[in-house]
Structures are given as structure tokens and as C-alpha cells.
Amino acid sequence: METPSMVCPRGLPRRTEPGEDRHSVERGTEKRRALEKNHLVSPSGERYGRLYFLSQEMEAHLPIFDEIWVKIQPRAREVKK
């Protein structure tokens, strides 16, 4: 169990994995919350070590997502250049 001095007010650990900075961890948390809020993923398990799976809603609409992805994927590669 972590001591209070090791946990920041937002509940994120102050220490991160090697090569990660705190901003990356916070951004990942924001993205996860957005995916949950929009019913794209469903959490499984307890607080720590929680796994995320596609929600039933997302699975039902996966063919539509695939159609959209095929259309935008080339554009996504162009932006990265």
C-alpha cells in the first residue's frame, strides 16, 4: 500500500514507469475517461490493474467503425509526415 506522500491529490502515482512522464500518464487517464464516458470501452476488475474491453455498443457498431476507419486511415498517415 502506498503512503499518502506517494500519491498526488488527483490519485495518480507520482512515480511513473521508466520513460514515461507525469503528463503522459495524466493524458492517458483523460483519454480512458473519455472512452468510458462515450461508451466505447467497459472496465473489468477492481481499481488497480483494471482491464478495458470494447463495450457491447461499440461491438455492435464495429462494422460502421471499420468503414469509417478505412476512409480516414490514409489521411491519418499523411498528417504524421
- Note the pLDDT of residue 75: 66
Whole-number pLDDT of residue 6: 37
* Residue 41, pLDDT score: 92
What pLDDT does 5 receive? Answer: 34
Torsion of CA 66, 69, 73, 74, to 10 degrees: 90
Long-range Cβ contact pairs of 56-60 (< 8 A, separation 24 or more): none
Phi, psi (rounded to 5 degrees) for 62: -60, -40
Cβ contact 36:43 at 8 Å? yes
One pLDDT digit (tens) per residue for the chain, 81 residues: 343 333 344 455 555 556 667 777 777 788 888 999 999 999 888 878 889 899 999 999 999 999 998 888 876 566 555
> Comparing C-alpha atoms, which of 75, 71, 35 is closest to residue 55?
35
Residue 3, pLDDT score: 37
